[in-house]
């Protein structure tokens, strides 16, 4: 039987990695065979662990591309892996879509976690394509940094030094905000996030 592809998406601090870690724990408690991957680009906290903002963590294999993730999976062939987890999937190349499809066709469940939009509200194509082929999508929310409501669906860059859609950072650069507060905060900025390119 084919596996299932689940996508967990949302803005920063919306509990995506925490959700992944909870799922990993379920597989660990059940003594299942699973693999956790993280892209090489994300070295905010640790290069060998997937770490949530609240400090929970699990060890992970670091991969530089979808092809190296594919290669690692081929190496594990025969070990009866039941689930594959990928954190920060938006940092991987689009090849991950076919790689994920290949893995679920082998009867392995795949859980991908990532940002759905950049801080400029531009969809990450990798995440969007994975969502298109997913069996299940979970959209998470965070607490809005500005108004305190639990309706933050956007990541907002607090600094003015715009550097393109991908610029790895944490609380020193990004906050989660609701749509209304995104507009309010953007209107106060000298460089508007959606205009800069
Ligand atoms: P993500 O992977 O989506 O960035 P994490 O799972 O790593 O999120 O972190 C979620 C944790 O971040 C929460 O459990 C909470 O402790 C913390 N946190 C910090 N700021 C916020 C916020 N604005 N809204 C929700 N959680 C927040
Ligand atoms: Mg995360
Ligand atoms: Zn708000």
The model's pLDDT over 32-49, given as tens digits with 9 standing for 90+, comes to 999 999 999 755 555 689
CA distance 113 to 42: 13
Which residues pair with residue 84 across a beta bridge? 35, 110
Q: Is 21 helix (H, G, I), strand (E, B) or coil?
A: helix
Report pLDDT for 33: 96
Residue 195 lies in a domain: no
Residue 34 lies in a domain: yes
Closest ligand, as measured to the CA of 149? 3
Residue 117 lies in a domain: yes
Residue 175 lies in a domain: no
Report pLDDT for 77: 78
Query: Can you give the residue range of the structural domain that contains 29?
Result: 5-140
- Give the Å distance between the CA of 89 and the centre of ligand 1: 17
- At 49, which CATH number? 3.40.50.300
Report pLDDT for 129: 98
pTM (predicted TM-score): 0.92
- Give the Å distance between the CA of 42 and the centre of ligand 2: 10
> What are the pLDDT digits (tens) for 78-88?
678 999 999 99
CA distance 111 to 108: 10
pLDDT exceeds 80 at position 169:
no
Q: What is the atom index within ligand 1 of the atom nearest the CA of 10? A: 3
Closest ligand, as measured to the CA of 15? 1
């Amino acid at each position: 039987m084919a596996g299932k592809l689940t996508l967990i998406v949302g803005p920063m601090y919306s509990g995506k990695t925490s959700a992944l870690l909870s799922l990993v724990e379920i597989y660990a408690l059940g003594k299942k065979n699973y693999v956790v991957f993280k892209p090489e680009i994300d070295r905010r906290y640790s290069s060998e662990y997937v770490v949530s903002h609240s400090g929970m963590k699990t060890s992970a294999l670091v991969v530089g591309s979808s092809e190296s993730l594919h290669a690692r999976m081929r190496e594990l062939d025969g070990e009866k892996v039941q689930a594959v987890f990928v954190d920060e999937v938006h940092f991987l190349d689009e090849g991950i879509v076919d790689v994920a499809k290949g893995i679920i066709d082998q009867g392995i469940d795949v859980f991908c976690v990532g940002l759905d939009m950049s801080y400029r509200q531009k969809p990450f194509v990798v995440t969007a394509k994975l969502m298109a082929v997913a069996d299940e999508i979970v959209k998470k929310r965070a607490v809005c940094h500005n108004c305190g409501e639990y309706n933050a669906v956007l990541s907002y860059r607090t600094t003015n030094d715009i550097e393109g859609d991908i610029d790895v950072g944490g609380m020193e650069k990004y906050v989660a905000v609701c749509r209304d507060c995104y507009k309010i905060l953007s209107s106060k900025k000298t460089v508007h996030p959606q205009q800069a390119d």
